[in-house]
Structure 1
Amino acid sequence: KENANACIRLQETEINIKSRRSMTIKSKRVVTIFNEYGLHHMNASQYYDKSLKIVSIEAQILNSLGSEIKKFKKKDFRDQSIADGISIYTDNRALNLDYTPISYPFTLVFECEVETSNTAFIPSWAPLENYFLSTEKSKITISYPQDLGFKYKEDNFDGFSIQKTDETGKLSFEANNIEALRQEDYAPSLRKFTPLVIFGLNKFHLEGVDGEAETWSNFGSWVYTNLLSGTDELSEETKSKIKAHVGNETDALKITEKVFEYVQNKTRYVSIQMGIGGWKPMLAKDVDKLGYGDCKALSNYTRALLNVVGVESYYTIIYGDKYRRDINPDFVSMQGNHAVLCIPYQNELKWMECTNQIVPFDFQANFTDDRKALIIKSSGGEIIDTKVYSEKNNSQKTIGNYSLNPDGKITGNVSIKSKGTQYDRKYLLERKSKDDLDKHYKNYFSTINNLQWKNPMFENNKQAIEFTEKIDLEAENYASKSGQRLMFALNAFNQYSAIPKRYRIRNSPFEIARGFYDFDDIAIDLPENYSVESIPESVEFQEKFGHYKTEIQLNEKKIVYKRSLTINKGFYAKSEYEEYRKFIEKIAKNDNAKLVLIQK
């Protein structure tokens, strides 16, 4: 019960792969829900489509004493489309248990059996499913024909009680008594440090098509032949339009940028869950006619346009998310949740995020950056690395000044130039309302009370992928006044104040997913008839987590404050967390260092 909003009493899954084109999955889930926060751990639903049939489904609700208080048959489940609200159409539907508890705790017993002709996707096994969820017993058993090339990969078993039974044609894993984990600051995704087993077949079936997944090369050939071939046809009229748009340009990179601009202006993103398991793109000529498509369709459409103007590009399968996740290079199987386009250019790879109408060309930060992806060529598949944004590339440079008057009011202006992942957090500012900008700046300059800002100016340089914001600001009582003295923090514009939470016992490793670099150069005009009584010293310190430096120069009535901060990306053991917390605490302390003025 400790740290748990719910407990999985039993999760038992039996998978029977009868042949390349037939698989049944039978599951039983018993979960005790302790409070309302545990409700989303019920997981009492099952999707279905034309290739996956629900054979049986039922549920029971037991009270705190284990007595049945309600029973649900198949007809009692709510049948609904699982369209996400932005889908044009979808083949997928789901049966969902619609239950509102009358008291806690209660226990759900959920049983379901399905059969499918698709063997491309075999459910993985993760006995610790989520934070604040404990597991009493979790077991998976898979039976399979040996001629299909069954395979599996296990990760992160150390420190967990897991039993494995591997027999001819049958494999099982069982875990018992796993305590719940609370979610901690900087914790990586659970799949990076808790038990996980993934499964696959070298010879699989997907929506009427047999597939091969022995190597990434032959899997890529299968994708190209069965999912992409024949989808890139365009009308003669469209071919003429894109040639005219490119004009006389001969440089492949500039041609690509023009095509990307054309696609951004012509299309919009809409989810379309259909085709071969949602993997086959809709036809390029349909995207051209309709003006919309999903990630697969838009990437494939752009590939078709580039082909018309003589530029080679590769359809690319990837995991798109702010949390970095690789296509597992050591396990050939159907993976990924997103498609982008890759263009080889002078021994580099350039990238197109074709679902976004405003993102710059060759920009991947915070969604598809720094991970392994699968590019699809006519000759086969290949695992490659996407763009890595180093700490220096993820930069923010702040140049500004402010004046302090004898009443403690400051008046100044600032220019902030952001690149890399920091550009990604800023470039939408030019599209925000005044109210949203007010919230943003009062949060960003949170150490300035009574903030008033005005005259915002934005410059979004998509070519350099650089966003500049210039604003004027003022604030009453920024400096504290006590008798003849004024006291205030020199670093008015960019204090690092988010100190990580302290844990008596840290349970998970921690990750800094993306590093960054900040540089500040601020000129401060002091009020007349005041002199400096106390001024912070310049400091510098460096640790494995990063580097911090301040330079403070006093020139009569003016102070120049320079600061640089680098935070390094990295994956660290839980034993190092307190060291990191103290490193950030030290930065925050120096960022808040005070200057004291005294009236002459």
Structure 2
Amino acid sequence: MKTFLLPALLFFISTLCVGQKLGYSTLTIPDSLKQNANAVLRLSQINIDVTSQKSMTIKSLRVMTVFNELGIRNLDLAESYDKNKRIVKIEATLYDAFGKHLKSYKKGDFTDTSVADGFSVFNDNRALYLNFTPITYPFTMVFETEVVTSNTAFIRPWSPVDDYLVSTEKSLITVSYKAELKLKTKEANFSDAYRLEKKETATSISYSAKNLFAKKREELSPGFKNTFPFVYFALENFELENVTGNAANWSDFGKWYYSSLLADTEEIPEETKLKIKQLVGDEKNPLEIAKIVYKFVQEKTRYVSIQVGIGGWKPMLAKDVDKLGYGDCKALTNYTRCLLKTVGVPSYYTVVYADSDETKDLQSDFASVDGNHIILALPSDNNLIWLECTSQIMPFGFQGNFTDDRNVLLVKPDGGEIVKTKTFTEKDNLQATKGNYTITPDGDLLGKIQIVSKGLRYDKEFGKERLSRENQIKNYKEEFSNINNLNITKITYNNNQAAIEFTEHVELEAEGYAQNSGGKLMFAVNAFDQSYYVPKKYRTRESPFEIDRGYTNEEEIEVTIPEGYIIEAKPNAFEQETEFGFYKIEFNLINPSKILCKRKLIIKKGIYDKSKYESYRKFREIIAKTDNSKVVITKS
């Protein structure tokens, strides 16, 4: 009997394995890598071969097991191309949970599409992508590509961590290059928490990692690139859209940038020169002259992006911008610079990584072709004033949260220089609210408020004046969501661009704001500036936390209770100061029928150790609770 069963069992196993790739079976994934994971990166293998200054081949093999629909976003089944980047190979293979082959996808199965960036009227970037919808989970996808490009200015950074909630079984990258091209590397966020291996020769370098567990993103965590290990690569001698370049350091890079991309773009038509000089007149102050030129550019031009070839990096000719009346960030910034130059005011074309949600720095110690936006730097009294030249509505000298507080590159004829844009402090980012409201015997609220916003608060609020009335009202109902049955009766705005202050005057009413209980009325005194935010509680916090921008809120609201009522109970004043900020609220009796609510909240920017997270959470919890403090009034 045993003699018969053994061959039969072996035959069954061999039959089961036909058409299967056991290495891709989910059964072979360690349980430790499945924990907290929407997907597991089984293998990421990248080989970059820089055969010359004008040629680079990139081969990529990516094996991803996806457990659920949240892991789909990590498949990344696409490859970009353009006139200088050719896709040699692109294919994908699908396996089921047991490693059984289900389907193969060749180049013809991929969809060819333009890579629209949302603002360019035309660009020459395209991509092939696989429009894939899974039928069941889990599954494994093998995605393999090979591309050849003449652009050697960009070598993708490498991280062994693909994303939050994604484990890594194995990840490696190898870069091979000619020694005379001088490859530079920078390692960031390396620590004992990640077991990384590095191998290096005179003409190659490789990094690898194995068995990295999935991490959950914790609230207020610093940005992904500031949290996980990254390796950055760049060649000192490179090619960018058929223009050879050198980036040994930022000074050399800036000199190359100016001579290769800017120097031959500066011609301004004589007619425009004359017009600018007439507008400037007898004005001698460089700052006032710059204001005149900035206003001229805002009124004459509009922002339109055209990204083709070197045009993705080299600005349009200034004379073409003058003729056409439009351009992208490069063109409009360069045009403004050239106009200023004609009237003797120096300014600097400035490369920046722009993003309002996450501050991204150019790396001061690692020169490379980087950044995604251009602004203008205007020297003034040993300081720099920043001009956003793409906006027709932005005040002179105000940059907002799109480019604040980050390293940027000044491009000068004699070399580049890394400097930092303006950091708005908690004092700069001020919002001050003053006003009054009356509670009627029926518990209704009738009020008027004035809100003045400065600094980055201005940036957030001044766009309200261009909204429809319907959307303005919608915004206030969201801002004052604590007030039920809110009705906005009047809105007026004052946008003081010279002072960079935005003032809102709002008249409003709300039926039943005060709750009636047995003839007594109860309501939150602080009606217009309540904070609800309380960070999530963690049993064990793993990462530090970041408050990316500080701010100050000040409020004075006078509250009048109905005639014939007295204050039966009112909240006590409260004050607390911590390293994260300051909070104070008072409820002062002006007379028996009036209460003055004074409130001040300061939140400080900073990166704090994880051990302090619970203290910050409790600070915000106290603020949210105290802001909702209620007064009780009753008939006398």
TM-score (norm 1): 0.97
Match of 1:576 among 609, 612, 634: 612
Q: Which moved more, 1:23-32 or 1:35-44?
A: 35-44
1:119 counterpart = 2:162: no
Counterpart in the other structure of 1:242: 276
Counterpart in the other structure of 1:143: 176
Match of 1:301 among 327, 335, 344: 335
CA–CA distance in 1 between the matches of 2:472 and 2:166? 38
Q: Deviations over 1:271-293 (max 9, x none)?
A: 22123272111111122222221
CA–CA distance in 2 between the matches of 1:270 and 1:177? 46
Report how far residue 429 of structure 1 moved: 0.5
SS at structure 2 position matched to 1:135:
strand
Counterpart in the other structure of 1:379: 414
Report how far residue 184 of structure 1 moved: 2.9
SS at structure 2 position matched to 1:131:
coil
Alignment check: 8 A CA contact 1:16 1:25 kept: yes
Report how far residue 39 of structure 1 moved: 1.9
Report how far residue 473 of structure 1 moved: 0.9
Q: Which moved more, 1:332-341 or 1:259-268?
A: 259-268
Report how far residue 91 of structure 1 moved: 2.1
Report how far residue 250 of structure 1 moved: 2.1
1:360 counterpart = 2:359: no
Match of 2:222 among 185, 188, 212: 188
Counterpart in the other structure of 2:262: 228
Q: Which moved more, 1:311-320 or 1:98-107?
A: 98-107
CA–CA distance in 2 between the matches of 1:486 and 1:441? 25
Match of 2:241 among 182, 207, 212: 207
SS at structure 1 position matched to 2:442:
coil
* 1:566 counterpart letter in structure 2: I
Q: Identity percentage over the alignment?
A: 52
- Larger helix share, 1 or 2: 2
CA–CA distance in 2 between the matches of 1:181 and 1:249? 59
CA–CA distance in 1 between the matches of 2:593 and 2:62? 72
CA–CA distance in 2 between the matches of 1:118 and 1:484? 77
CA–CA distance in 2 between the matches of 1:64 and 1:248? 78
Alignment check: 8 A CA contact 2:353 2:361 kept: yes
Report how far residue 582 of structure 1 moved: 0.6
* 1:196 counterpart letter in structure 2: F
CA–CA distance in 2 between the matches of 1:44 and 1:200? 25
Alignment check: 8 A CA contact 1:370 1:386 kept: yes
* Alpha carbons of structure 1 residues 435 and 507: separation in structure 2 relative to 1, 3 Å: farther
CA–CA distance in 1 between the matches of 2:487 and 2:325? 43
Q: Which runs of 5+ in 2 are unaligned?
A: 1-33
Match of 1:560 among 571, 576, 596: 596
Alignment check: 8 A CA contact 1:317 1:339 kept: yes
* 2:271 counterpart letter in structure 1: E
* 1:470 counterpart letter in structure 2: H
Alignment check: 8 A CA contact 2:41 2:162 kept: no
Report how far residue 579 of structure 1 moved: 1.4
Match of 2:351 among 317, 321, 325: 317
1:592 counterpart = 2:628: yes
Alignment check: 8 A CA contact 1:124 1:197 kept: yes
Q: Deviations over 1:59-80 (max 9, x none)?
A: 1111222222221122222122
Q: Deviations over 1:307-344 (max 9, x none)?
A: 12221110000100011111100111111111101100
Match of 1:292 among 317, 321, 326: 326
CA–CA distance in 2 between the matches of 1:581 and 1:166? 45
CA–CA distance in 2 between the matches of 1:289 and 1:103? 57
* Alpha carbons of structure 1 residues 435 and 181: separation in structure 2 relative to 1, 3 Å: farther
Counterpart in the other structure of 1:511: 546
Counterparts of 1:129-528 in structure 2, within 5 Å, are 129-158=162-191, 159-276=193-310, 278-322=312-356, 323-528=358-563
Report how far residue 240 of structure 1 moved: 2.2
Q: Which moved more, 1:76-85 or 1:13-22?
A: 76-85
Report how far residue 146 of structure 1 moved: 2.2
1:544 counterpart = 2:579: yes
Counterpart in the other structure of 1:28: 61
* Alpha carbons of structure 1 residues 570 and 85: separation in structure 2 relative to 1, 3 Å: closer
CA–CA distance in 1 between the matches of 2:116 and 2:515? 56
Counterpart in the other structure of 2:12: none
CA–CA distance in 1 between the matches of 2:563 and 2:159? 67
Report how far residue 573 of structure 1 moved: 2.3
* Alpha carbons of structure 1 residues 501 and 419: separation in structure 2 relative to 1, 3 Å: same
* Alpha carbons of structure 1 residues 290 and 129: separation in structure 2 relative to 1, 3 Å: farther
Alignment check: 8 A CA contact 1:52 1:117 kept: yes
CA–CA distance in 1 between the matches of 2:280 and 2:291? 9
Match of 1:79 among 112, 134, 138: 112
Alignment check: 8 A CA contact 1:181 1:507 kept: no
Q: Deviations over 1:132-154 (max 9, x none)?
A: 32222111111122222211111
Report how far residue 180 of structure 1 moved: 2.3
Alignment check: 8 A CA contact 1:260 1:302 kept: yes
Q: Deviations over 1:347-377 (max 9, x none)?
A: 1111111111111111122110011100011
SS at structure 2 position matched to 1:276:
helix
Alignment check: 8 A CA contact 1:365 1:389 kept: no
1:9 counterpart = 2:48: no
CA–CA distance in 2 between the matches of 1:4 and 1:28? 21
CA–CA distance in 2 between the matches of 1:350 and 1:259? 14
TM-score (norm 2): 0.92
SS at structure 2 position matched to 1:366:
helix
Report how far residue 386 of structure 1 moved: 0.4
Report how far residue 85 of structure 1 moved: 4.4
CA–CA distance in 1 between the matches of 2:414 and 2:595? 63
Alignment check: 8 A CA contact 2:567 2:592 kept: no
CA–CA distance in 2 between the matches of 1:368 and 1:74? 40
Q: Which moved more, 1:230-239 or 1:502-511?
A: 502-511
Give the number of aligned pairs. Answer: 600
* 2:157 counterpart letter in structure 1: S
* Alpha carbons of structure 1 residues 344 and 385: separation in structure 2 relative to 1, 3 Å: same
SS at structure 1 position matched to 2:310:
coil
Alignment check: 8 A CA contact 1:4 1:133 kept: yes
Report how far residue 242 of structure 1 moved: 2.4
Q: Deviations over 1:153-195 (max 9, x none)?
A: 1111211121112233221111122222333322221101111
SS at structure 2 position matched to 1:441:
helix
Q: Which runs of 5+ in 1 are unaligned?
A: none
Q: Deviations over 1:380-439 (max 9, x none)?
A: 100111011110100000010011122211111000000111111100111111221122
What value does the CA root-mean-square deviation take over the aligned residues? Answer: 1.5
CA–CA distance in 2 between the matches of 1:447 and 1:231? 55
CA–CA distance in 2 between the matches of 1:558 and 1:312? 57
Report how far residue 564 of structure 1 moved: 0.6
Report how far residue 6 of structure 1 moved: 2.1
CA–CA distance in 2 between the matches of 1:325 and 1:270? 24
